Amino acid sequence: MAAVALAVGTIGWRLIYDPSASEPAPAGPNDPLAALEADAKSNPRDAASWQRLGFAYFDAGRFADAAAAYAKATEAAPKNAVLWSSLGEALVMASADNPMPPRALAAFRKAIALDAKDPRARYFLAVNRDLGGDHSGAIADWLALLAETPPGAPWEADLKRTIEQVGKINDIAVSQRIAAATAKRPASQTSHPAFDAIPGPTQEQLAAAGSIPPGEQRAMAEGMVARLEQKLAADPKNVDGWIMLMRSRKTLGQDAAAAKALSDAVAANPTRKAQLEQAASQLGVRR
């Protein structure tokens, strides 16, 4: 269960979605979400339209709606692994009582069948092993993923934390194995589209397989970051939120903004300075 909590808390987009907030209001006629809905419904065989709608629903915390949209996307493009792993993650997030619903597991397995390197599917399939009691097997799978994770990838720190915490809970030594896996990693980030499917946010991730125009990708990513900043202004004690903001700014190439986020985070949380600075160092953020 710890791995599932980490999955939806860090590997997914939960730090941007505030689960304590009230349900989002229905989209109005001038709401961007309404435009995405209309576009998808008018182009029912266009996978990219459903993908954009699914991403927007996920960002709004409407996980069941996101799953429905991603299901439509997979119908339109059944050989796209990223769409299948997106569907699986949305189904996990939408489930109130089952940490790995059968439909989600099937979606992750479909993604892996199409692309054995899809990192999100690999992560959640390892979560499933952990849920089944095979903690050593799950850790081995996560370590294999870590060994192929490029330095600085947005999910790197979260993946390591998952391994560390599941290892600690189950009394499995992982420190040396994490170091060994890290030493095997590629020198730079690959252009493999599946690597863009795990959190950032990044403009490439929003496109997944490159279906969203670059201008829309950037605008959507910056809109997400702006909403996160607003939430942190209201809740400056959210240390995980500050770490997400630093990572997001860094991913967008906004080094000065990432450094400012670090300064603001430390100012708001002076007793957590060491934790924040350690996270910033892992992300390559300097004040």
* 197-223 tens-digit pLDDT: 333 334 444 344 334 444 444 555 666
pLDDT of residue 107: 97
pLDDT digits (tens, 9 = 90+) for 128-144: 999 999 999 999 999 99
pLDDT digits (tens, 9 = 90+) for 78-119: 998 889 999 999 999 898 888 899 999 999 999 999 999 888
Domain assignment present for residue 216? The answer is no
Short-list 268, 202, 204, CA closest to 231 = 268
pLDDT of residue 265: 92
Omega before residue 201 within 30° of 0, cis:
yes
Number of domains in the chain: 1
pLDDT of residue 268: 93
Domain assignment present for residue 265? The answer is no
Q: Which domain holds residue 70?
A: 2-203
pLDDT of residue 150: 77
pLDDT of residue 203: 40
231's tokens: 């939430």
Domain assignment present for residue 149? The answer is yes
198's tokens: 């795990």
Which CATH number covers residue 138?
1.25.40.10
Domain assignment present for residue 17? The answer is yes
Short-list 41, 38, 17, CA closest to 28 = 38
Max Cα distance, the chain (Å): 55
Domain assignment present for residue 260? The answer is no
Domain assignment present for residue 77? The answer is yes
Domain assignment present for residue 262? The answer is no
**Stretches in the chain below the pLDDT threshold 70:** 1-32, 154, 186-223
